[in-house]
Amino acid sequence: MKIQILGGNCRKSDLLMRNTQIAVAELEKDFKVEKVDDIVEILRFGISVTPAIALNGKVVSSGKVLSPDAIKKYIKYRCK
């Protein structure tokens, strides 16, 4: 699974990235996690509020910092 954190170099985007890394580590999965901070690329996802998280190219949340537990729920749902 490819996980993308969409957002600039701000506190909320950094926190979402950290929470995502924690969630992936707790799930003991080898998922690719990357941060996308290029505005043109972010706009291609069709969002207007960051930070956002995309799983396999599909945005599942935007405008809020999810907890590691919430991120794990999204990942488990997508892995079914």
In tens, the pLDDT along 2-50 reads: 999 999 889 999 999 999 999 999 999 889 999 999 999 999 999 989 9
Amino acid at 60: V
CA–CA gap between residue 23 and residue 71 (Å, rounded)? 6
Residue 64 reports pLDDT greater than 80:
yes
Q: 3-state secondary structure string, 5-43?
A: EECCCCHHHHHHHHHHHHHHHHHCCCCEEEEECCHHHHH
- What are the chain's domains? 2-78 (3.40.30.10)
Question: pTM for the whole thing?
Answer: 0.92
DSSP summary character for residue 64: S
- Bridge partner residues of 33 (DSSP): 3
